[in-house]
C-alpha cells in the first residue's frame, strides 16, 4: 500500500502520542524521523511500530543516555537506548560537541536506523557539515539534504547496534539516494500504528481525564508511566510544593545553580497547576539533559542593562530564560513600569521561556495592566489564504490584566498556529 509522506507523518505522530511519547515533543520528532526514512525508501513505519511496541510502558528516562558528557553514551543497566532519544534529540542537541570531538559513540541502541534522520538535524546545525553513522557493517551519511547509504539490507535493518558511532565530517559521501513524495508502507505496520486502545499500542488516557477538578494546591501527573501487569496507567498525586521541590532538585543535580533552578522550578509547578502537562514535569528531564550536554548554561549569570529610561534588556548568557526574567528583568521592570507608566523588557540569548502566560500572570499579580509577552520562533507554518511556504513561527502571544484581589483577572496565552508545536 502507498501513502503520501504527509499521511505517514500524521499517522506516526498519532501512534507515538498514543504510545506515550509526549515527553518533550518526542512524538513529533518520531513522526518527522519516520517520514524522513520513508522518503528515502526505508521501512520507517515498520521500524517505528516495532520500537513503540518494544518500549511500550517503559519510561523515557529508562531508555535515555545516563550522561551526555560520558565518552560512551549508554542507557541505565539492563536497558537499551531508544534511537529517538539517544540518536534523535540528544545527538541534534550535541551537534557542536560532535564537531569538536569528531565522534560520538553509543552502546546498545535499539533499531539504530531510526537515529539516522536526526543526523540531518545535527548536520544542519553545523552549517551543512556532513555527519555519518556506522554500525554492524552499515554506513550512512547526510548533510541534511542528501543521504548516502552503504551496507546490506540486513545490517541497515539491524534490531540492535552494540556500538553506534557518529562522525563529523565523514571522509566521503557515496551511494546517494533520492527522496520520493510517496512511499510503500507495510499494511501490518500501518494497522499497528493505527491500533485502537485495545490493540498492540495501548493508548494512554488524555491529560484532561487526569486534570478534571484538581485538588487546590495539588496536581496529578501521568507523564511517567509505571510498568504494570494491568492495562491501567498508574498515577501519583503531588502537591505543588512537591512538584517544585522535585524539579528544583533535578535541575541542581544536573548542574544548574540554585539561583537559576528556583525560578524554573516555580514555573514548572505553576504550569502543572494549570494543567499544561506538556511543559511541566515532563520537560524537566529535557532541561536537565540540555544542561548536561551544554546546550544551556545552568550556571549563567544574566546581565541587566537599561539603555533607555523605560527599557530594560537582559542578556541571559545562554542560560535559562526564567532566571533572566525573574532575577534580572522583573526586579527592574515592575518598579520601572509603576514609575514611568509603561516599560518594556527584552531578553535575548536565552533558552526557551516555557509557558509564556506564567510570566505575564506575574505582571498582572503585581498590579500592572496589559502585561504583554511575545517570543520568536523559526518559520514553520504557512499563512492562511492558500500559502504553501512556511513564513510564521508557532511563537506564543500572551496578555494578562490584574483583578481587584491581586490575581490575574484575565490571562490569554495562545500559539500563532491552530495547534501548538509541542502537541
pLDDT digits (tens, 9 = 90+) for 78-129: 788 888 877 666 777 777 777 778 888 999 999 999 998 888 878 877 877 8
Q: Which three cell numbers stand for residue 411?
A: 490571562
My answer on whether 73 and 167 are in the same domain is yes
Q: Phi and psi for 213 in degrees, rounded to 5?
A: 65, 60
Of 93, 104, 11, give the one whose Cα is nearest residue 52: 11
pLDDT digits (tens, 9 = 90+) for 115-157: 988 888 788 778 778 889 999 999 999 887 788 998 898 999 9
Tell me, what DSSP letter sits at residue 386?
Answer: T
Q: Percentage of residues in the chain with pLDDT exceeding 70?
A: 85
Residues 6+ apart with CB under 8 A from 170: 130, 131, 132, 141
> Would you call the peptide bond into 175 cis, given omega within 30 degrees of 0 as the criterion?
no
Residue 282's pLDDT band (boundaries 50, 70, 90)? confident
- Mapped onto helix, strand or coil, the DSSP state of residue 174 is coil
My answer on whether 20 and 131 are in the same domain is yes
Q: What is the CATH number of the domain that holds 277?
A: 1.10.1530.10
- Strands 218-221 and 160-167, bridge-based pairing: unpaired
Residue 307, pLDDT score:
93
Of 373, 362, 360, 370, give the one whose Cα is nearest residue 401: 370
Of 361, 360, 358, 356, give the one whose Cα is nearest residue 377: 356
Residue 87, pLDDT score:
64
**Is a pLDDT exceeding 80 seen at residue 182?**
yes
d(CA 291, CA 310): 33
My answer on whether 133 and 252 are in the same domain is no
My answer on whether 213 and 153 are in the same domain is no
pTM of the full predicted structure? 0.59
My answer on whether 141 and 238 are in the same domain is no
Reported in sequence order, the residue ranges of 223-370 that DSSP labels E, i.e. its strands, are: 236-239, 303-308, 311-315, 344-348
My answer on whether 155 and 220 are in the same domain is no
Instruction: Look at residue 160 and tell me if it is in a domain.
Output: yes
From 243, 267, 293, the end of a domain falls on: 293
Instruction: Look at residue 315 and tell me if it is in a domain.
Output: no
d(CA 118, CA 52): 18
Residue 26's pLDDT band (boundaries 50, 70, 90)? confident
Domain extent at residue 17: 2-176
Tell me, what DSSP letter sits at residue 82?
Answer: -
pLDDT digits (tens, 9 = 90+) for 214-258: 333 444 443 333 333 334 345 778 888 999 999 999 999 999 999
Calculate mean pLDDT across residues 416-420: 66
Contact 121/149 with Cβ under 8 angstroms? no
Contact 93/69 with Cβ under 8 angstroms? no
Instruction: Look at residue 409 and tell me if it is in a domain.
Output: no
My answer on whether 136 and 213 are in the same domain is no
d(CA 34, CA 256): 34
My answer on whether 117 and 213 are in the same domain is no
My answer on whether 10 and 158 are in the same domain is yes
Residue 311's pLDDT band (boundaries 50, 70, 90)? very high
pLDDT digits (tens, 9 = 90+) for 360-407: 998 998 898 867 888 877 777 777 777 777 777 777 889 999 988 788
- Strands 344-348 and 311-315, bridge-based pairing: parallel
Structural domain tally of the chain? 2
d(CA 37, CA 190): 15
Calculate mean pLDDT across residues 165-179: 74
Of 193, 177, 174, give the one whose Cα is nearest residue 53: 193
Q: Within a 13 Å sphere around the CA of 283, how many CA atoms are in the beta-carbon half?
A: 21
| Residue with the larger pLDDT of the pair 181 and 325 | 325
Contact 68/81 with Cβ under 8 angstroms? no
Amino acid at each position: 500500500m502507498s501513502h503520501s509522506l504527509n499521511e505517514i507523518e500524521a499517522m506516526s505522530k498519532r501512534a507515538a502520542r498514543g504510545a506515550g511519547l509526549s515527553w518533550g515533543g518526542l512524538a513529533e520528532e518520531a513522526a518527522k524521523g519516520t517520514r524522513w526514512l520513508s522518503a528515502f525508501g526505508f521501512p520507517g513505519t515498520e521500524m517505528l511500530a516495532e520500537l513503540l511496541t518494544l518500549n511500550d510502558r517503559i519510561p523515557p528516562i529508562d531508555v535515555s543516555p545516563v550522561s551526555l558528557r560520558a565518552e560512551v553514551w549508554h542507557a541505565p543497566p539492563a536497558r537499551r537506548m531508544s534511537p529517538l532519544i539517544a540518536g534523535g534529540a540528544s545527538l541534534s542537541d550535541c551537534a557542536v560537541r560532535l564537531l569538536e570531538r569528531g565522534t560520538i559513540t553509543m552502546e546498545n541502541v535499539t533499531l539504530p536506523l531510526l537515529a539516522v534522520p536526526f543526523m540531518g538535524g545535527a548536520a544542519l546545525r553545523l552549517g551543512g557539515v556532513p555527519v555519518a553513522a556506522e554500525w554492524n557493517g552499515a554506513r550512512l551519511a547526510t548533510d541534511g539534504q542528501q543521504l548516502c547509504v552503504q551496507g546490506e539490507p540486513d545490517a541497515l535493518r539491524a534490531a540492535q547496534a552494540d556500538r553506534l558511532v557518529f562522525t563529523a565530517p565523514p571522509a566521503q559521501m557515496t551511494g546517494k539516494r533520492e527522496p520520493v513524495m510517496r512511499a510503500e508502507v507495510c499494511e501490518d505496520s500501518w494497522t499497528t500504528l493505527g491500533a485502537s486502545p485495545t490493540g498492540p499500542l495501548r493508548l494512554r488516557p488524555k491529560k484532561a481525564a487526569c486534570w478534571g477538578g484538581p485538588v487546590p494546591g495539588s496536581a496529578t501527573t501521568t507523564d511517567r508511566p509505571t510498568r504494570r501487569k494491568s492495562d491501567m496507567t498508574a498515577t501519583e498525586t503531588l502537591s505543588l510544593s512537591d512538584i517544585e521541590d522535585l524539579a528544583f532538585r533535578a535541575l541542581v543535580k544536573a548542574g544548574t545553580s540554585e539561583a537559576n533552578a528556583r525560578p524554573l522550578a516555580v514555573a514548572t509547578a505553576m504550569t502543572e497547576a494549570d494543567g499544561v502537562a506538556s511543559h511541566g514535569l515532563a520537560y524537566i528531564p529535557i532541561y536537565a539533559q540540555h544542561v548536561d550536554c551544554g546546550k544551556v548554561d545552568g550556571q549563567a549569570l544574566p546581565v541587566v542593562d537599561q539603555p533607555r529610561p523605560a527599557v530594560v534588556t537582559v542578556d541571559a548568557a545562554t542560560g535559562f530564560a526564567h532566571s533572566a526574567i525573574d532575577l534580572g528583568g522583573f526586579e527592574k521592570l515592575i518598579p520601572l513600569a509603576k514609575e514611568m507608566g509603561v516599560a518594556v523588557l527584552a531578553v535575548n540569548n536565552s533558552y526557551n521561556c516555557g509557558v509564556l502566560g506564567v510570566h505575564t500572570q506575574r505582571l498582572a499579580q503585581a498590579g500592572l495592566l496589559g502585561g504583554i509577552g511575545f517570543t520568536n520562533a523559526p518559520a514553520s507554518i504557512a499563512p492562511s489564504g492558500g500559502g504553501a511556504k512556511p513564513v510564521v513561527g508557532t511563537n506564543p502571544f500572551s496578555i494578562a490584566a490584574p483583578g481587584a484581589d491581586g490575581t490575574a483577572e484575565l490571562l490569554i496565552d495562545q500559539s500563532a498556529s491552530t495547534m501548538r508545536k509541542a502537541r
